[in-house]
Amino acid sequence: MAGQSYEQRKTGTESAAEASKELKRKKRMKLVVYAATFAIFQTIVILVFSLTVMRIKNPKFRLTSVTVEDLTAAPTPVSFNMKLSAQVAVKNTNFGHFKFDNTTIWFDYGGVGVGEAFVARGRSKARSTKKMNVTVELNSNNIPNNSSLENDIKAGFVALTCHSKLSGKVQLMKLIKKKKSAEMSCAMLLNMETRVVQDINCQ
């Protein structure tokens, strides 16, 4: 009886030890699973952060509207003088602000420069659009006599283009600064009769 009781106690002790080992093993497995899950989650967060917040893109620089303030034109001798008020926009989709330098918007007719507008340096906040108003005076002084301007004025429509480049830096979290630029290339049609600039198209 004593021997049987000893064997029973020994078996019970071994069973308890095995149960304790199994419990510890399960706890270790849970810790491994938790650690692996956290590592995967952290990797996903870092990946998303890198692809969104840390991905710095070039801002967009566009001509959004143009109003004719003054206009004089004549088919013979062919000429025009006009004063325009234009609104330009700097769209910054980054998570850091875009600080840009002074720049100039060049206006052309048939590839010939007819005027320019000055854009003062400034800052477009993170994920926002900064709008600015500029004034430009255009004239036909540099356009050669053999151009199609005379026919355009007689027809009542003058096609204009403008282009510019806005250079600056995007700053993230006051730690990362990266040089970026935004280019403008727009076309528009001036209705000489109604004195309205229409069909503004920017790329």
pLDDT in tens, 78-105: 999 999 999 999 999 999 999 999 999 9
pLDDT at 196 > cutoff 50: yes
- pLDDT tens, 160-182? 999 999 999 999 887 889 999 99
CB atoms under 10 Å from CB of 189, counted, come to 15
Query: Residue 120: what are its φ and ψ, rounded to 5°?
Result: -75, 150
Give the lowest-confidence range in 6-10, 23-27, 124-128.
6-10
Q: Is 195 left (phi over 0), alpha (psi -120 to 50) or beta?
A: left
Say which residues have a Cβ less than 8 Å from residue 17's Cβ, sequence separation at least 6: none
Q: What radius of gyration, in Å, describes the C-alpha atoms of the chain?
A: 35
In sequence order, the 6+-apart residues with CB closer than 8 A to the CB of 142 are 112, 113, 114
Average pLDDT over residues 4-18: 64
